[in-house]
Copies of this chain bind each other. A is one copy, B any other.
């Protein structure tokens, strides 16, 4: 998907909500467990219920990989369902991959070609030749970890590097990568106070912001410091939507939660 199409969807729906599909067999409603593919059935119901209110879906790949081959089948079916029924949705493989050149190309093929994702999250530690193989794919997007939402983010990401800090160095060096216009960045909502500085380095790039809700970040703060004229944000919610109910009404409760967030987003967009 081209960035222009993503922006146009955001403006049309007045939403920059990304629904994280962290689908966990231990948390989904019990009645689904007798289905042949409970993970897919859960995802399908969540997608049908929330798609009018969000612009992106982000399967967390670990949750599928943990179940082995059946998990990969559920992921493939989820992606086929999304791409067939809601091709206007931006899809994110939250995979945090990254390796030397020829290996990164393999990961890129896995997610962009085999599974038909629009984008993938990538760890920056191995540098340019670990990221550029992903950037080589046209109309695909590479979402580089900059400042993550977890406590361990302070272990390395905020360490001083010269006059700067590691996460800023990641942002800076990445802007020189080939096809850097296909980059987006992960910035945790719990680090909203850093967004103003981040915007001085990457003023227009899309930021994928996890950590609203369950992890404690504030939407209002994220928007105040991070929003651009084209919004430039995808704010993710996973558990707060998926597991708002674990009864038979889970999809309609998820829809209500998505609407609540979408209305808050609309309010923020009206300030633009």
Contact = CB atoms under 8 A, between A and B. Distances in A.
Most chain-B Cβ atoms within 10 A of its Cβ — which of A76, A126, A156, A169? Answer: A126
Most chain-B Cβ atoms within 10 A of its Cβ — which of A62, A66, A103, A109? Answer: A62
B72 A124 contact: no
A166 interface: yes
A3 interface: no
Given A72-B72, A127-B157, A99 B67 contact: no
A75 to B, nearest CB: 9
Contact of A127 (B130, B131, B151): B151
Contacts of A126: 96, 123, 145, 148, 150, 152-153, 155, 157
B76 A72 contact: no
A104 interface: yes
23 contacts: A60-B99, A60-B103, A62-B103, A62-B110, A66-B114, A68-B76, A68-B114, A69-B69, A71-B110, A96-B98, A96-B126, A100-B149, A124-B156, A125-B125, A126-B148, A126-B152, A126-B157, A127-B151, A127-B155, A127-B157, A129-B152, A156-B170, A160-B162
Interface residues of A, number: 56
Contacts of A63: 103, 106
Most chain-B Cβ atoms within 10 A of its Cβ — which of A76, A115, A148? Answer: A148
Contacts of A71: 110
